[in-house]
Amino acid sequence: MDLVNHLEGRLLFAVPKKGRLSQASLNLLEGADIQFKRENRLDIALVKNLPIALIFLPAADIPTFVGEGRVDLGITGYDQVQEHDAGVRAVAHARRLSNAGERDGSTKPQGCDTVMELGFGYCRLQVQVPANGPYTEGKDLIGKNIATSFVHLTQEYFARLELEQQGVTDTTQLAGRKLRTKIIELGGSVEAACALGVADGIVDLVESGETMKAAGLKAIDMVLETSALLIKSKAPSNPELVELIANRIRGVITAQKYVLCQYNVPRTKLHDATKITPGKRAATVTTLDEEGWVAVSAMVEKKNIAVVMDELVKVGATDVLVLDIHNTR
């Protein structure tokens, strides 16, 4: 089937085609009951049960497609959105210098809106240098060679440092400035650049720190913290469908974040117990057949559940059960 000719009338939803955000994104789509079959090697899949087409793209390109309004919705990292926006600022700066925007009457790119954080893909974009080397802070790298895949953010980072070094206090216009520091763009394996003599420092993502450690590097500054986002274009083709998908995804995320805690407790201890498990809105309390006892159920954040159980038992709760939540709305 010629998929491209079947896109008419469908909401276009960009999903990372590979890499760190890919599997978690597919899990979210499954949880939101967005059903599709992706043919081998095809980067477009029609959703069977909703008027949506999924477009599988590199995470780095998704802010461009969504920002220019070519695609309605997308999943990507906050870092990628910021890098894209920094690139847009650099282009705008160059156009201002040449007055090109005024001459051809072109309008600014639209940009994208964040719908929600998705709760995965947590990492930090850091400035890293050889662990045994002489550099201890970002400004030590001014005038040096810096390798990165995030050229625009790195450019702005060093523009700020260079301006600060010159005593310039207004550092609001950072994009597109001519730098003393040389930014070298690499597509991946950036951590190898220092050992191979290509760079004095790098700007790269760190999650566990394993890659950095294995490459003999240490972090000396942080450019930004990032996690995965659901983003939408400024003018999506079907805002109601965007809202429906957002609500479904929100439900899946909440379900992943919470467990349902149920227990029995003497009514005299109910106040203490519900202080420990206040629930999302309020705990559900039901009278038990046994005189003086109630049953309570409440959503509790998964990460706190062990401590919550300890405290419940301390105030006299019994039969404490913890259940997974598959979905919520």
Ligand X SMILES: Nc1ncnc2c1ncn2[C@@H]1O[C@H](COP(=O)(O)OP(=O)(O)OP(=O)(O)O)[C@@H](O)[C@H]1O
| Residue 66 binds ligand X, judged by CB under 6 A | no
- Is residue 202 within the footprint of ligand X (CB under 6 A)? no
208 contributes a contact to ligand PRP by CB under 6 A: yes
Beta bridge partners of 297: 262, 284
188 touching ligand X, by CB under 6 A: yes
Q: Please report the sign of the dihedral spanned by the C-alpha atoms of residue 28, residue 30, residue 33, residue 36.
A: positive
| Using rule CB under 6 A, residue 20 touches ligand PRP | yes
Full DSSP string of 8-35: TTPEEEEEE-SSTTHHHHHHHHHHTT--
> Segment near ligand PRP (CB under 6 A), from 92-100, 173-181, 201-209, 229-237?
201-209
Residue 105 makes contact with ligand X by CB under 6 A: no
Question: Residue 79, interface with ligand X (CB under 6 A)?
Answer: yes
Residues 296/273, Cβ–Cβ less than 8 Å? yes
C-alpha–C-alpha distance, residues 293 and 266, integer Å? 4
Sign of CA dihedral 35, 38, 43, 45: negative
* Span from 15-23, 104-112, 217-225, 294-302 in contact with ligand X (CB under 6 A): 15-23
Please tell me the distance from the alpha carbon of residue 299 to that of residue 296, in angstroms, as a whole number. 10
> Rounded to whole angstroms, what are the CA distances from 226 to 63, 78, 81?
14, 5, 10
Of 5-13, 202-210, 275-283, 321-329, the window that binds ligand PRP (rule: CB under 6 A) is 202-210
Q: Is 18 in the site for ligand X (CB under 6 A)?
A: yes
Residue choice 3, 19, 109, 285 for contact with ligand X (CB under 6 A): 19
Give the residue among 273, 280, 275, 262 at the shortest CA–CA distance from 329.
280
Q: Is 302 in the site for ligand X (CB under 6 A)?
A: no
CB of 213 to ligand PRP, least distance (A): 8
51 contacts which partner out of ligand PRP, ligand X, none, CB within 5 to 8 A by kind?
Answer: none
Q: Can residue 191 be called a binding residue for ligand PRP (CB under 6 A)?
A: yes
Minimal distance, residue 26 CB to ligand PRP, in Å: 17
Dist. CA 184–CA 49, nearest whole Å? 45
Of residues 255 through 294, those in contact with ligand X by CB under 6 A are: none
Residue 51 contacts ligand X per CB under 6 A: no
Tell me the C-alpha to C-alpha distance, in Å, between residue 258 and each of 213, 251, 308: 34, 11, 13
The answer to whether residue 185 forms part of the interface with ligand X (CB under 6 A) is no
User: What whole-number distance in Å separates Cα of residue 286 and Cα of residue 230?
Assistant: 38
Q: Which one of ligand X, ligand PRP, none interacts with residue 200, CB within 5 to 8 A by kind?
A: none
Q: Is residue 206 within the footprint of ligand PRP (CB under 6 A)?
A: yes
CB of 78 to ligand X, least distance (A): 7
Asked if residue 180 lies in contact with residue 139, where contact means CB atoms within 8 angstroms, the answer is no
* Overall size of the chain counted in residues: 329
In whole angstroms, the minimum distance from the beta carbon of 17 to ligand PRP comes to: 13
226 binds, among ligand PRP, ligand X, none (CB under 5 to 8 A by kind): ligand X
Is the Cβ of residue 24 or residue 244 nearer to ligand X in the bound state? Answer: 24
Pairing state between β 145-148 and 182-185: parallel
**Six-digit token string for 254:** 């909440």
- Give residues in contact with ligand X (CB under 6 A): 18-21, 58-59, 77, 79-80, 121, 123, 149, 187-188, 205, 207, 226
- Give residues in contact with ligand PRP (CB under 6 A): 19-20, 188-189, 191, 204-212
